A = this chain, B = another copy of it.
Amino acid sequence: MGISKSQLKLITSLSQKKYRQKHGLFIAEGIKVVNELLNSAFEVELIFCTNDFETMLPENKVTRVSETELKKISTLKSPNKVFSLFKIPEEKSIQNSGLILALDAINDPGNLGTIIRLCDWFGISQLICSKDTVDCYNQKVVQASMGSLTRINIKYLDLKDYISESRFPTFIADMNGENIYQTNVPKEGILIMGNEANGVSEEIKNQVQHKVSIPRFGETQRTESLNVATAAAILISEFKRNP
């Protein structure tokens, strides 16, 4: 059957956030990621796959394609049998429960994907993103999250307003904060990680009392910062490590 012109146009448009939002669809690729999505509450729109991809989906959802056609629509170096369109689920509201991670203006899709995987590992089921954080349905985020996307409630909102209205204990990752290893952290609360270059915005910083940092151990004082995903990993580990 192959890929129709209108399908190709749709797929191409989905590299842009505005068209993902307009159509309510996003792209996921490769056996592992697509199977994780198929086994989740996410709803599949269409899959394009080579003949050796096994699927129980109804025929009207499945388009068989050649390796060449798959390569044409794929953004991966080595396309892996299946390319799919899924429906973007509705966002759910955030509950004050457990540890919540909040991201202020994270730019890099790889970082967001890694952070989503991290949340999944540590049982953090709620992730708040400021409106200027990279879209979690960006294709690079979807691939980097490796299916963890399906298990986390991700909500985009005005982070400054949310924090100012929240009564949940809130912590900011900040270079000048208290040594995390010497801080008594609660089991529940919000941990805010900031932009790769600028950290958490001043407006939000001014609203939050608790600031925590990962101490530097290097002899020199020149390492400017940790990557935001590795810093998040260490901080989340500190919130979670004590039973």
Chain A residues near B (Cβ < 8 Å): 36, 110, 114, 117-118, 120-123, 125, 146-148, 151, 181, 214, 216-220, 222-224, 226-227, 229-234, 237-238, 240-242
Contacts and interface: CB of A to CB of B under 8 A. Distances in A.
A27 B181 CA distance: 38
Contacts of A125: 219
A34 to B, nearest CB: 15
Nearest to A122: B217
Contact of A110 (B110, B240, B241): B110
A227 B117 contact: yes
A217 B117 CA distance: 12
Contact of A229 (B36, B148, B214, B230): B230
A117 to B, nearest CB: 6
Q: How many copies does the complex hold?
A: 2
A238 B241 CA distance: 10
28 contacts: A114-B229, A117-B226, A117-B227, A118-B226, A120-B218, A120-B223, A121-B214, A121-B217, A121-B226, A123-B216, A123-B219, A125-B219, A146-B224, A147-B222, A148-B223, A151-B218, A151-B222, A181-B241, A217-B240, A226-B233, A227-B229, A229-B229, A229-B230, A230-B230, A230-B232, A230-B233, A231-B233, A237-B238
Contacts of A242: 181
A121 B223 contact: yes
A216 B110 contact: no
A140 to B, nearest CB: 12
Nearest to A243: B181
A148 B218 CA distance: 11
Contacts of A146: 224
Contact of A218 (B123, B214, B216, B231): B123
Contacts of A241: 181
A110 B181 CA distance: 27
A234 B181 CA distance: 13
